[in-house]
Amino acid sequence: MEPATTGRAPVPRPVATFTARDTDLGTLTRALTGPVAGPVTLHGIPGVGKTQLTRVWAHQHADSYGIAWQARAADPLTAVADLAQLADRLDVAPNTDQETAAAAVVEALSGRQGWLLVFDDASPDAVRLLLPHRGGHVVLTSRSPNSAPVAATQKVGLFAPQPAAAFLDPHHVLPTDAAVRLAERLGYLPLALEQARAYCAATGRSLDGYLADYRQTAAAATRQLQCGHHSTCRYALRRCALDQVRRSARERHQLARQRRSPHQSQFL
């Protein structure tokens, strides 16, 4: 796949392991290019793959757009800042503040064709004033279907059991029983599947071994957090585990720096 555009805030590339979303991609194409095309909000639980889906779609359709741009839209300041970066490219609002530049970008886009804007993780406050009225395509991602003043919504669901198991077990034509079991236990959530697959590939741990570890960790954490086996909880658990790994890597790094220069301030 080619980059959707060049520039400072293009739509980033999707993960190389992207799979199993042909139907969703087709639905999004019809929603964006049909007779009543308008902005579309992709919604779904954390880690289900909304952001990845927009990235793949943007890169698959890169040839149709002169500009394909992603703005992080969880909060108004970031959304404005990301969109304002387009001002240079569109040759509007030179030497102004970001808010004026973003407004000029919205106006300029409304008057031309052939552009794609992706508002990732969009909140209503962030995108309310940033949606061009016509001329191109707008996709938003959000955990809630009601997070933007946008009529069309498309739900992104969990993987189906078979593709989920196949994703865990890419070396077998038919997924093994271990893959089927683990995929089910991970709730068919793409984020959790990806972490399991990457962990097993990196460590040589078997899928059944991962399942045993996971059962143990999840049981302990569920007791601690007093919540059920909802997929959002699983997501949180995996994020916690990742945070721990990152924390210990950071601590090791800091320790190594202190050893190299013991008299240096830790705030440098």
- Residues at the site binding ligand ATP, with contacts judged by CB under 6 A: 15, 17-21, 44, 46-52, 121, 141, 143, 190-191, 194
Q: Which two tokens stand for residue 143?
A: 């955990």
C-alpha to C-alpha distance for 194 and 242, rounded to whole angstroms: 13
By rule CB under 5 A, what count of residues binds Mg ion? 1
Q: Given the complex with ligand ATP, which of 61 and 104 has the nearer CB atom?
A: 61
Q: Tell how strand 137-142 and strand 152-155 pair up.
A: unpaired
Of the two residues 103 and 140, which places its CB atom closer to Mg ion in the complex? 140
Give least dist CB 24 to ligand ATP, A: 8
> Could you say which of ligand ATP, Mg ion, none residue 138 binds, taking C-beta under 5 to 8 angstroms by partner kind?
none
Residue 93 corresponds to which tokens in the numbers above?
Answer: 């609002």
Please state the closest distance from residue 206 (CB atom) to Mg ion, in A: 30
Taking CB positions, which residue lies at the least distance from Mg ion? Answer: 51
To the nearest whole angstrom, how small is the minimum distance from the Cβ of residue 243 to Mg ion? 18
Instruction: Using alpha carbons only, give the angle 241, 250, 52 rounded to the nearest 5 degrees.
Output: 55
3-state DSSP call for residue 239?
A: helix
Binds 175: which of ligand ATP, Mg ion, none (CB < 5-8 Å by kind): none
Distance CA(111)–CA(60), nearest Å, equals 25
* Rounded least distance, CB 77 to Mg ion, Å: 18
| Secondary structure class of 178 (helix, strand, coil) | helix
Report the C-alpha gap between 51 and 44 in whole angstroms: 10
Q: Which of residues 18-77 bind Mg ion (CB under 5 A)?
A: 51
Measure the CA dihedral 12/20/49/201, to 10°.
Answer: -80
In whole angstroms, the minimum distance from the beta carbon of 160 to ligand ATP comes to 12
Footprint on this chain of Mg ion (rule: CB under 5 A):
51
